[in-house]
């Protein structure tokens, strides 16, 4: 956790103490973004932050350089990273239960 805190509170980022704490807690306890368990976590986080679904998300990503390219064989780095495990089981990052 110490190295995660060091990365979150690095002086070049110019974040305050509270923002650094939030960043460190999320970085330490959230699933790595390349694992399938992160999909629902990221979706729920974006829906909470933007107070709605994808229609309210105000960003898009399109890489024109690779738009028409087809990749074969995959990535060795992504293959290696996808074999990592999360700190918590995947169902901990799933959607919230419906409110009562």
Query: What is the full per-residue pLDDT of the chain (100 aa) written as tens digits?
Result: 777 777 777 777 777 888 888 888 887 888 887 788 788 888 888 888 888 888 888 776 666 666 555 555 667 777 787 787 777 777 777 766 666 6
What does the DSSP 8-state code read for residue 55? G
Is residue 8 within 8 Å of residue 24, measured between CB atoms? yes
pLDDT at res. 11? 76
pLDDT at res. 100? 63
Q: What is the pTM of this model?
A: 0.48
pLDDT at res. 99? 64
């Amino acid at each position: 956790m110490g190295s995660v805190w060091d990365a979150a509170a690095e002086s070049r980022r110019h974040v305050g103490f509270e923002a650094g704490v939030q960043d460190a807690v999320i970085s330490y306890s959230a699933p790595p973004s390349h694992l399938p368990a992160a999909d629902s976590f990221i979706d729920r986080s974006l829906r909470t932050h933007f107070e709605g679904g994808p229609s309210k998300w105000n960003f898009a990503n399109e890489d024109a350089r690779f738009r028409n390219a087809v990749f074969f064989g995959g990535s060795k780095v992504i293959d290696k990273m996808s074999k990592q495990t999360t700190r918590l089981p995947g169902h901990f990052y799933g959607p919230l239960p419906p409110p009562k």
